[in-house]
Chains A and B, each alone.
Chain A
């Protein structure tokens, strides 16, 4: 029975000391500890959040870089392609021009040659005619130089005529 009968002395001291310890601990232990715990949790949360944000930012940066790289690569390809096209076009243009020029030169050369040739032929013909006349003149002169020769000639010619 004594065990379940609360003793006044113990009750008295328990009330006083529990009250005191509650007060002291609340003031000097629980409040600072809980505040610090809270602060630390908040700061850890903040750190985690900022790490997450940094991670996102880095990923964005990486994505950006990747995108810029892609764009640069595409641009490079485009430039290369353009350059190649231009080169080919230049080459083909040059070829065309050269061909045309060659043909033109060839053609004019041919025309010149033709002109020169015909001029030469004409001159040759003239000279040949002149020479022929001169030769004929000289022959005639020699053939008709004496009377005898003239009579022989007339006879030859008359024989050929054959009076029929």
Chain B
């Protein structure tokens, strides 16, 4: 009940602010569409000529801008929040400044410039026009860019939410010892029990699941909450955190490391020399098993990242259809918007499911890998 309400709110917010985020001709479109039809194009043309930067709607650009990381956080229209740049190089040391110093890539600052959302080192240390600067490619190669980007900020936000939620829930547990759960506690508890019983206990086994439970719970809620926050379309949410390959990579590497560290003799025997398999086959099988050992976490990463990325792209694509058609004909755009919104609602619902499903699948597979790593050798007939 509660979750479906939250879903509904997310949906409403999603549309409300997609229209804000889509900086392009939304004003001309929605304001005038009801009054004139084909004449609208004429009235729109002079507007476009006044703002040459937004004269043509580019769906691909909008989508890419949304799903990729950036050094400022676009809120609405031309308003964006600049984010801190933290950059280190051996030659120049540590530099921390705010991304607005770059003036959207038009200026250099302290010998750096912003090009296509990438920081590049330039030879000129004083602030000059970016178009006149010369890129120092050797220095650029050796830059360590640990800026607080949009995704990092969104991740911090999600982490604060998680800390707040779970620590307050934990306090509630301590406070309400021996009482029935209530409020946030009763929302979170079934999920914790779900992860504990249906993921950890069933995949790892009764004896050893306890050791992995904190990690599995953290991963589950981290992915799920970030997925959900990614569906909320306004700052400081709506960033494509889980759809970023770096997040999936980090989580997958941690899963891999935990699997390898906790792997027992039985696991290694199955990888290096599968029992009951003739030597001739082993020559073929062992490389495959070793490859599979790395492939498993890799697939984990790809699955999470691709699913979440695809969800964002599809939702935005449906929405972009409105503006693509509106550019041909405003009436058409208005008509398509109904269809688009219907599709986006559908996709949003699906994404709510996917948000949970991806968290579940990632956690379940991680638990299964841990389970296979600590499984005791007891049955031959399985192979």
Which of A6-14, A91-99, A107-115 sits within the interface?
A6-14
- B145 in the interface (beta carbon within 8 A): yes
- B144 in the interface (beta carbon within 8 A): yes
**Are B152's CB and A9's CB within 8 A?**
yes
- A3 in the interface (beta carbon within 8 A): yes
- B245 in the interface (beta carbon within 8 A): yes
Specify which chain A residues have a CB less than 8 angstroms from the CB of B148 in the assembled complex. 13
Specify which chain B residues have a CB less than 8 angstroms from the CB of A26 in the assembled complex. 214, 218
Which of B18-26, B173-181, B264-272, B370-378 sits within the interface?
B173-181
How long is the Cα–Cα vector from A41 to B152 in the complex, in angstroms? 39
Interface size bracket, B side? 35 or more
Query: Which of A12, A25, A37, A39 has the most chain B CB atoms closer than 10 A to its own CB?
Result: A25
**Are A37's CB and B67's CB within 8 A?**
no
Which of B247-300 touch A at CB < 8 Å? 247, 249-251, 254
**Are A33's CB and B249's CB within 8 A?**
no
Is the contact region of chain B dominated by helix, strand, or loop, or is it mixed?
helix
Interface size bracket, A side? 20 to 34
Which of B118-157 touch A at CB < 8 Å? 144-149, 151-152, 155-156
How long is the Cα–Cα vector from A2 to B118 in the complex, in angstroms? 10
Which of A15-23, A49-57, A72-80, A125-133 sits within the interface?
A15-23
How long is the Cα–Cα vector from A154 to B28 in the complex, in angstroms? 201
How long is the Cα–Cα vector from A92 to B94 in the complex, in angstroms? 127
**Are B69's CB and A7's CB within 8 A?**
yes
**Are B173's CB and A32's CB within 8 A?**
yes
Shortest Cβ distance from A17 into B: residue: B159
Which of B38-46, B189-197, B353-361 sits within the interface?
B189-197
Q: Can you pick out 26 interface pairs between chain A and chain B where the beta carbons lie within 8 Å of each other?
A: A3-B67, A3-B245, A6-B246, A7-B246, A9-B86, A10-B149, A11-B249, A11-B250, A13-B146, A13-B156, A14-B155, A14-B246, A17-B155, A18-B254, A22-B214, A22-B218, A24-B163, A25-B162, A26-B218, A28-B166, A29-B166, A30-B217, A34-B196, A34-B213, A40-B178, A43-B178
Interface residues of A, Cβ cutoff 8 Å to B:
2-15, 17-18, 20-22, 24-26, 28-34, 36-37, 39-40, 43
